[in-house]
Amino acid sequence: MRLHRPIKNERNSYISTMCGIAGFIDFNKRSDLNRLKKMTDAVIYRGPDDSGYELFDDSKANIGFGFRRLSIIDLSPLGHQPMHFVEAGLTIIFNGEVYNYAEIRKELEVLGYSFKSGSDTEVILKSYAQWGTDCVSRFIGMYAIAIYDEKKSQVVIFRDRAGVKPLFWYFNNDLFLFGSELKSFYQHPEFQKNINFSALSHYFQRGYISAPYTIFENTHKLLPGHFLVINLQAKTVTQKKYWDVTDCYNQPKLNISYEDARAEVERLMLSAFQYRMIADVPVGVFLSGGYDSTAVTALLQANSTKKIKTFTIGFEDPKFNEAPHAKEVAKHLGTEHYEHTCTYKDALDIVPQWPDIYDEPFGDISGIPTTLVSRVAHQQVIVALSADGGDEIFAGYQKYFNGVRRQQQLEMVPGFVQKLIGSLIPNATGADIAVQDKRSKLKDYFGANDAVRKFDIVSQAMTFYETQKLFNKDIQYLPTPFDDGSLLNNSNDLLSKFQATEYKTYMVDDILQKVDRATMSTSLEGREPFLDQRIIEFAARLPTEFKYRNGQGKYILKDIVHKYVPRQLMERPKMGFGVPLETWLKVELKDMLMDVVNKDVLQKQNVFEPNQALKIRDSYLAGKPVDFQRLSYLFLFQLWYKKWM
């Protein structure tokens, strides 16, 4: 039996789909609408315009669906969520956008479906009614979707292919929770906040926790390109894959001319970029003046009769100020350009807000300028296009090329000899935790099975062994796609393997998490035009020399950009905002550092071995050699712990 007990919406404007979602499946039947409302309203900034909360009474469980809505498409009451398809026994909540919903709708209309709204939410719901879980293969977009299928007695939860939209889930003691952010779970009294120290090791190694793991036990990130099926009768949770970038790279490489490839890449990019301009509210583009953001801006402006709104933040320090370059690009392209100069005080003020924005430990402090530009853009638009993914798709990172060179040099040493070297290197048990243990890193490097794992080890801030030392606990090694290099077949060279792996790791759990939380914290929808699956499905099959040529990465992308912007305007050293956290923690933020990293706090927490953590802090304050990344990760973790634990 279904019990609809909705709490009324807060406003009269409704839209299609950008929001935050939260919900539960409680097999103990103790969760109620009040708990659902608290979980959902914990992410009110993701959707300040509208709300919906409904409880359903399945024979085996209470099911709660909650949403917060940010108005983007279909500004009518017909787009409200949770949305029902009563005849099929279906209910949906949905965070994101399905950009090709109009085409899918036409296909469904031919099959006899009628529509009450102009929203993509209704199209998703009726696509599921027609095709079941296979419906997702038709979607182009970013999404976290939850569907209660009453007739099949199941709940199905999808995450988009690239992982643009987040989805967390928890299952313990017959309680299943899901949501866009962890802070929704904090509002449920039966959620157990037990730290997963093995996952915390990931954070100190890389600055983020790799999917499917999270900071807590029994708590997971739904992998990109996957969906969950929660069987309400059997009380089981099954995860299934519907898309994987590895499969794109394992396809045979294309026999295609460079000119034809360049034309097709440009065509696919234009289609993807234009899809992400669909909205009933103002849309803009983050423009740094680099190749990726310039590609988005140039193709859109060249094919638009209206001026595209572009946004750049500048900084007072000329070493980090990209604003003049972005302004020149915007002037050349003829956009409606907005520029705001941020002071270091603007950036400094975000640090105390860090655990509110990032409710799981997160160490990438470039989230500060990303938050700043989001705040500037939100003054003019509700939707902003970011240009993430270009480096992973078209081979733009220098670390890829360095990794290839290292591996080529290492191939002169037989694999069994490398492993022997690794086994003979002792861990430096007495090494100073404040600085990098080179012996520990070399031991891991030579002991690694393949080049992809070695690539990961080189970039780690701490080794797995060092994190064990910091925690003074026995922890388990949790594998990531960096351990799956063998899944990429021999049609892929090393460069392709690095790209494919980082598309599933660093891009998802660092870059996309950073942008999602930064934009949503300001009630701004961030869209990722490069992450249309059609682009990577084509680019993954291109010969490597189309992407990396004559020592230059992103060759084909740059070639396309040069059709619209002169080479001399583009070719300049890559910049970026250098957040001076290393200086702040000695002066402006020293009191905050001492407040969260001190002996009393550390002993009470029982997370770190206090003497090891204090050694990192004290070496830094005394001006001794220190790997500052270790201190910043420690400091940001402690801010998170103080806020949420």
**What are the tens digits of pLDDT across the range 329-382?**
999 999 999 998 888 889 899 999 999 999 999 999 999 999 999 999 999 998
- How confident is the model at residue 280, as a pLDDT? 72
Please, which residues have CB within 8 angstroms of residue 200's CB and are 6 or more apart in sequence?
Answer: 209, 215, 361, 467, 471, 475, 607, 637
Position 382, amino acid: I
pLDDT of residue 49: 77
* Dist. CA 637–CA 26, nearest whole Å: 31
User: 98: which strand partners?
Assistant: 141
Our answer to whether residue 19 is catalytic in this structure is yes
Q: What are 347's two structure tokens?
A: 């950036």
From 19, 135, 248, 342, active-site residue: 19
* Helix boundaries (H) for 111-241: 120-131, 183-186, 197-206
Q: What SS3 state is found at 383?
A: strand
- Separation between Cα atoms, residue 91 and residue 157, nearest integer Å: 12
pLDDT at 12: 32
DSSP class of 7: B
pLDDT for 31 equals 96
Q: What CATH number belongs to 245-579?
A: 3.40.50.620
Report the SS3 class of residue 306.
coil
Segment 119-125 shows an average pLDDT of: 95
Q: What is the pLDDT of residue 587?
A: 92
Partners of residue 526 on adjacent β-strands: 384
pLDDT at 10: 36
pLDDT reading at 307 higher than 70: yes
Hey, where are the domains in the chain? 18-243, 245-579, 581-644
User: pTM, whole model, 2 decimals?
Assistant: 0.94
Name the pLDDT band for 72 (thresholds 50, 70, 90). low
Tally of CB atoms within 10 A around 417: 11
What is the average pLDDT value for the chain, to the nearest integer? 92
pLDDT at 449 over 90: no
The stretch 284-311 carries a mean pLDDT of 95
**DSSP string spanning 571-587?**
-S--------HHHHTTT
Task: For residue 470, count other CB atoms closer than 10 A to its CB.
Answer: 23
* Per-residue CA distances from 157 to 38, 190, 225, 277, 308 (Å): 21, 22, 11, 26, 35
Answer whether 556's CB lies under 8 Å from 394's CB.
yes
* Whole-number percent of the chain with pLDDT over 70: 94
Whole-number percent of the chain with pLDDT over 90:
82
User: Measured in Å, how far apart are the chain's first and last C-alpha atoms?
Assistant: 38
Instruction: Scan for tokens 């393997």, then name that residue.
Output: 497
Whether the domain at 18-243 and the domain at 245-579 fall into the same CATH topology: no
Backbone angles phi, psi at 46, to 5 degrees: -70, -20
| More reliable by pLDDT, 573 or 486 | 486
For residue 544, which amino acid is it? T
Helix (H) or strand (E) holding 452: helix 451-459
Give yes or no for a contact between 43 and 184, defined as CB atoms under 8 angstroms apart.
Answer: yes
DSSP letters spanning 29-93: ----HHHHHHHHHTTGGG-BTEEEEEEEE-SS-EEEEEEEEE--S--SGGG-SSEEEGGGTEEEE
> To which CATH superfamily is domain 18-243 assigned?
Aminohydrolase, N-terminal nucleophile (Ntn) domain (3.60.20.10)
Q: Quick one: CA torsion of 451, 452, 457, 460, rounded to 10 degrees?
A: 150
> What does the angle CA 499 – CA 504 – CA 505 come to, to the nearest 5 degrees?
95
User: Confidence band (pLDDT; 50, 70, 90) for 321?
Assistant: confident
Lowest-pLDDT range of 55-64, 128-137, 566-575: 566-575
Mean pLDDT calculated for residue range 213-235: 98
What is the rounded CA–CA span in Å between residue 420 and residue 197? Answer: 30
Contact by Cβ (8 Å): 364, 52: no
Residue 576's pLDDT is 61
Question: Nearest to residue 620, comparing CAs of 432, 423, 344, 425?
Answer: 432
Report whether 300 contacts 284 (CB < 8 A): no
- 503-513 pLDDT, tens digit per residue, is 999 999 999 99
Residues 6+ apart with CB under 8 A from 325: 288, 289, 572, 575
Compute the radius of gyration of the chain from its Cα atoms: 25
18 — pLDDT class (breaks 50, 70, 90):
low
Question: Which pLDDT score, from 0 to 100, does residue 538 have?
Answer: 98
In the predicted structure, residue 537 carries a pLDDT above the cut 50: yes
Q: Can you tell me the mean pLDDT for 109-113?
A: 98
Backbone φ and ψ of 8, nearest 5°:
-60, 150
Is residue 250 within 8 Å of residue 489, measured between CB atoms?
A: yes
Q: How far is CA 287 from CA 284, 294, 520, in A?
A: 9, 7, 18
Transcribe 85-139 into DSSP letters. Answer: EGGGTEEEEEEEEETTHHHHHHHHHHTT---SSS-HHHHHHHHHHHHGGGGGGG-
Using pLDDT thresholds of 50, 70 and 90, give the confidence band for residue 77: low
